[in-house]
Amino acid sequence: QVDLVESGGGLVQPGGSLRLSCVDSGNLFRFNAMGWYRQAPGKQRELVASIGPDYIIDYADSVKGRFTISRSNAHNTVYLQMNSLEPEDTAVYFCNAQSGHEHYWGQGTQVTVSS
C-alpha cells in the first residue's frame, strides 16, 4: 500500500523559503522515482523535481538553483527545499511516487507566495 502524506506548505513572502516533506508508509526503494509536481490555478500539473533510487535528480528549468530535492531512506521521506520563492511558484504541490507504470499521489499542499 502506498500512502503519501505531504506537509510544509503555507504562505510566504517573495524571497522567502519553505521546506516540503512527503512521508511514505513504506520503503522508498520500491519506487523507480519520487518527485514533486505542482499545479497552479488554470494550469496543467507540471514536474518540479524528481529523484531516483540512485539519486539521479532532475529539475524544471524554472526552479533550478532555487529548489533542492532530497530523500531520507531511513525516514521514508522526500523533501523539497524551496528558496528565493517567487509569486509564480504559487501552486498546490503534490508528492509523486512511480513504480513501473503506476503513479501514486499525495493529497497536495498549498504554497502561496505573496506580500
Where do runs of H (alpha helix) occur along 3-113? none
Residue 29 · residue 73 · CB < 8 Å: yes
The Cα–Cα gap between 81 and 44 comes to 22
Task: Kindly report, residue by residue over 31-90, the tens digit of the pLDDT.
Answer: 889 999 999 999 999 999 999 878 889 999 999 999 999 998 888 899 999 999 999 999
pLDDT at 19 over 90: yes
| Average pLDDT, integer, range 81-108 | 95
